[in-house]
Structure 1
Amino acid sequence: MKVKIIIADDNPSLQYMLSEICKHAGWTPIIAENGKKALTLLEQYEPALILVDYHMPVMDGLKTVKEIRKRNQYIPILVLTVDERQEVADQFIQAGATDFALKPVKAPDIISRIQLHLKLANLTNTQEDQEEIFITKGISKSTLSHITQYLRGKREPAPVDEISKEVGLAYPTVYRYIMYLLEVGNVIQKDSHQKVGRPKKLYQWLSN
């Protein structure tokens, strides 16, 4: 049975482009022109993943993410946005968003991002014990494990943008998780003193 993906976006051209990308990857796209419609389709089709636009009529992206999470704790939610501000990302992650896909959307990027989250979701769903999917608000166990595994295997400290590229997650998502790991004491922060510009913050797994 084909993987179903809900595309919640009010822009017809983006609806078409994302639909074609999904079809090319072998997934079945289901269009919702706003967040309210997406909630109806969620109950009707039981999709594997939902793409949610930030700015939509009737129900915006943030409200949509919150309402989806009330109904389903497991489904990956990728937010489509042009806004890269960390404070906006933090609001979405707190609401239950899994990751972000920045506009303009590029086919290879969105396909690899969706593939990653389908894989992580599958790992979560196949766990024998039905433990809580979120460690704390906005921090999911599967995403945290994915980032942690990368950091454990890396000897040298790295900046967030490098970690983001290597793990296949958006910068705002990785930053949020790095800050959590820093807070709980699993990661340490170092400064890279460059010849030009301000020192760059690097992060490294703290070995036991």
Structure 2
Amino acid sequence: MNILIIDDDHSLRYMLKEICKYAGWDSIAAENGYQGVELFKEVKPDLVLVDYHMPEMDGLQTVKMLRKMDTVTPLIVLTVDERQEIADEFLKEGASDFALKPVKAPDIIARIQLHIRLANIQDVQKNEGDVFTEKGISKKTLTLIADYLETNSQPCSVDDISKEVGLAYPTVYRYLMHLLEVGKVKQIVSHQRIGRPKNLYKWYTK
């Protein structure tokens, strides 16, 4: 398996290459978005790790360009920014998930493994229809979250779902909002003894 790393930070590129080596994966690194896009064309990697904050062409522009060329390869964004609006923009443009900085080896390895599995499932099912149900909503990720909720009898928080399915909080939140919008999930407000009420989500059964 070959991983493309796009990040302007030399030390982080080195660390990510070492993590990939430890996991038994090949990797190639680019120091900016332009170089990353060119390497993507040449190498056709199995997965891309792309930094958000880069000079000249940032991570969002890079994701846009990569998605124009390929709708299947998982794109994991590396960022320190946890704002949901930023996550929504990336997901709309085709990002698969997020890994928060500082990067932790167990987290990034688990996230890569999950998205490679999802990509393989998608490859098997590629004749069943479009990769995306709408802009920013991937069928494979939607199915993963929906299946978890459907088989879980108890209402779950975004944190619970994120930990169980292995996707980042912003990714899970956006997909839950989509499921709410289409009437597949209902939101339950749980009033805590201490602190603010907590939103929980449950698969909607009529």
**TM-score (norm: length of structure 1):** 0.97
Q: How many residues align?
A: 206
Q: Which residue of 2 aligns with 1:88?
A: 86
1:100-111 aligned at under 5 Å gives the runs 100-111=98-109
Residues in 2 aligned to 1:127 and 1:170: alpha-carbon distance in whole angstroms: 24
Measure, in 1, the Cα distance between the counterparts of 2:58 and 2:99.
16
Alpha-carbon distance between aligned partners in 1 of 2:22 and 2:129, rounded to the nearest angstrom? 35
Q: Distance in 2 between matches of 1:90 and 1:193?
A: 27
- The 2-side partners of 1:199 and 1:128 are apart by 41
CA distance in 1, matches of 2:48, 2:59: 11
Name the counterpart of 2:161: 163
**Whole-angstrom CA distance in 2 between matches of 1:207 and 1:99:** 28
RMSD over aligned Cα atoms: 0.8
Matches within 5 A, 1:1-208: 3-127=1-125, 129=127, 131-208=129-206
Identify if the C-alpha distance between structure 1 residues 128 and 113 changes in structure 2 by more than 3 Å, giving closer, same or farther.
closer
Structure 1 residue runs without a partner (length 5+): none
**1:58 Cα deviation (Å)?**
2.3
Structure 1 range deviating more: 51-60 or 111-120: 51-60
How many angstroms does 1:57 deviate by?
Answer: 1.7
Once the 2 structures are TM-superposed, how far is the Cα of residue 13 of structure 1 from its aligned partner? 0.6
1:127 and 1:155 mapped to 2: Cα distance?
Answer: 28
Task: Name the SS for the 2:127 alignment partner.
Answer: coil
Mapped to 1, the partners of 2:156 and 2:17 lie a distance apart of 36
Q: Distance in 2 between matches of 1:131 and 1:125?
A: 11
CA-to-partner distance for each residue in 1:154-205, whole Å, 9 max, x for gaps?
A: 0010110111010000000000000000000000000111011111000000
Q: Deviation at 1:14? A: 0.3
Separation in structure 1 between the aligned mates of residue 28 and residue 128 of structure 2, nearest angstrom: 29
Closer, same or farther: CA 18–180 of 1 in aligned 2, 3 Å = same
Q: Which amino acid aligns with 1:174?
A: V
3-state SS of the aligned residue for 1:7?
Answer: strand
CA distance in 2, matches of 1:64, 1:27: 23
SS of match in other structure, 2:153: coil
